[in-house]
């Protein structure tokens, strides 16, 4: 973990300005083509949910801006962020889980499957919903019941550490013509991340969706 010197940082004025906001979030909702990804997942017998999380985490980690966090009043650059996501235990309760992406897709799928087997249909009750002291995460969620065109992620206004963690969410898969699409939401702290960073990540994610065999082949 590397600490950023605010005084010499080229984004000092951006950071100072947007950090003064109660909610400095920048959020984008983009239509993504997942036709090739779903075809690949079906052929290989793997979860599209896991594949989407893995690709998103991979590309967000390749962006320095999305690896910046606020920790103890300082700006830090973490080495790698893994996935923190929700698993539906029953019709009214979710549990937060983590899965490691830095070990490759096969290991990631094992983590996801293990979490599902452990919690789905169980009587598990999570005592603390989220550990805000952990910042080397990317928060992932999915709303597979709704083809939304816009989504606002809940971001606490009193926990700087949590406000600095990127959040992603995607919606229902929808057939259009000969393709399949979904809306992807990415939310991040504008004090740390700019629109160009979103654009670069979204282009890379779409490229991975178009050619999943290049990133899900371990």
How many domains does the chain fold into? 1
Whether residue 38 lies inside any domain: the answer is: yes
Q: Residue 90 has what pLDDT?
A: 75
Whether residue 102 lies inside any domain: the answer is: yes
Distances (CA, A) of 215 to 30, 62, 106: 21, 13, 11
Whether residue 125 lies inside any domain: the answer is: yes
Whether residue 109 lies inside any domain: the answer is: yes
Entry pTM: 0.91
Task: State the CATH number of the domain containing residue 89.
Answer: 3.30.559.10
Instruction: Round to whole Å and give the CA distance between 134 and 162.
Output: 9
Whether residue 218 lies inside any domain: the answer is: no
Instruction: Round to whole Å and give the CA distance between 189 and 156.
Output: 12
CB 171 within 8 A of CB 146: yes
pLDDT 10s digits, 149-204: 999 998 888 888 889 999 999 999 999 999 999 999 999 999 999 999 999 999 99
Confidence of residue 78 (pLDDT cuts 50, 70, 90): very high
Strands 82-90 and 137-143, by their bridges, are: parallel
pLDDT 10s digits, 42-76: 999 999 999 999 999 999 999 999 999 999 889 99
Whether residue 106 lies inside any domain: the answer is: yes
Q: Domain of 42?
A: 2-213
pLDDT 10s digits, 79-90: 999 999 888 877
């Amino acid at each position: 973990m590397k600490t950023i010197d605010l005084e010499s940082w080229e984004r000092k004025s951006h950071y100072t300005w947007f950090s003064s906001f109660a909610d400095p979030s920048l959020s984008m909702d983009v239509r993504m083509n997942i036709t090739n990804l779903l075809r690949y997942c079906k052929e290989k017998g793997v979860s599209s949910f896991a594949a989407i999380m893995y690709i998103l985490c991979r590309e967000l980690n390749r962006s320095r801006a999305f690896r910046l966090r606020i920790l103890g009043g300082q700006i830090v650059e973490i080495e790698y962020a893994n996935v923190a996501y929700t698993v539906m235990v029953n019709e009214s309760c979710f549990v937060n889980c983590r899965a490691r992406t830095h070990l490759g897709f096969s290991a990631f799928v094992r983590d996801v499957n293990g979490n599902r087997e452990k919690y789905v249909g169980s009587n598990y009750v999570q005592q603390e919903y989220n550990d805000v002291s952990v910042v080397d995460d990317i928060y992932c969620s999915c709303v597979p019941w709704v083809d939304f065109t816009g989504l606002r992620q809940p971001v606490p206004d009193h926990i700087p550490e949590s406000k600095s963690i990127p959040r992603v969410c995607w919606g229902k898969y929808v057939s259009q013509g000969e393709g399949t699409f979904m809306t992807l939401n990415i939310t991040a702290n504008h004090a740390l991340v700019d629109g160009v960073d979103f654009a670069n990540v979204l282009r890379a994610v779409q490229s991975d969706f178009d050619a999943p065999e290049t990133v899900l082949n371990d």
